[in-house]
Amino acid sequence: MNILKSFNNKINGFLVGSVYADTSYSNNSNVYVGWKVPSLADIIGFVIKFLFIIAGLAALIFLLLGALAWVTSSGDKENVKKAQEKIQAAVVGLVVIVAVLAIIVTLEQFVFNGKLCLGISCEINIPSLIENNTP
């Protein structure tokens, strides 16, 4: 009988387990949610980087579509010219994207020494209107 009771306790302990209260947060107004709530600066920086990524992907897709149009033109001079124009526009788009990124990073890092950040190579600093003086 003792063996059955011991086995039953082990099974119940395994299935149910012990539950303890979490005391890892303090009793102030801050609530721990398990992840950092993004600030406005984080959101704006993410959107700017996301738009550059989308622009680069669109230019690459346009480049591939131009190459596909050239391959499938079957020697027709008009279709080859249209495909070349697509490829040229895609390459110009990629060059413009890289140039804008280079200019922004140069401005952020060397001209303004990190005091003005546009969200590419450093985090955007938005001054807060209300100061939080809680310790």
Q: For residue range 18-44, list pLDDT tens digits in order.
A: 555 555 555 555 666 677 777 777 888
Query: What interhelical angle do 77-106 and 40-71 show, nearest 10?
Result: 160
For residue 72, the Cα-to-chain-centroid distance in whole angstroms is 36
Give the residue ranges of DSSP H helices in the chain: 2-15, 40-71, 77-106
- Contact (Cβ atoms closer than 8 angstroms) between residue 94 and residue 59: yes
**What mean pLDDT is reported for the chain?**
77
Distance CA 94, CA 132 (A): 44
Greatest mean pLDDT range, 7-11, 48-52, 95-99 = 95-99
Of the pLDDT bands very low, low, confident and very high (cuts 50, 70, 90), residue 122 is: confident
DSSP letter assigned to residue 131: -
Segment 65-87 shows an average pLDDT of: 93
> CB under 8 Å to 34, separation ≥6 — which residues?
none
Q: Are 96 and 114 in contact (CB under 8 A)?
A: no
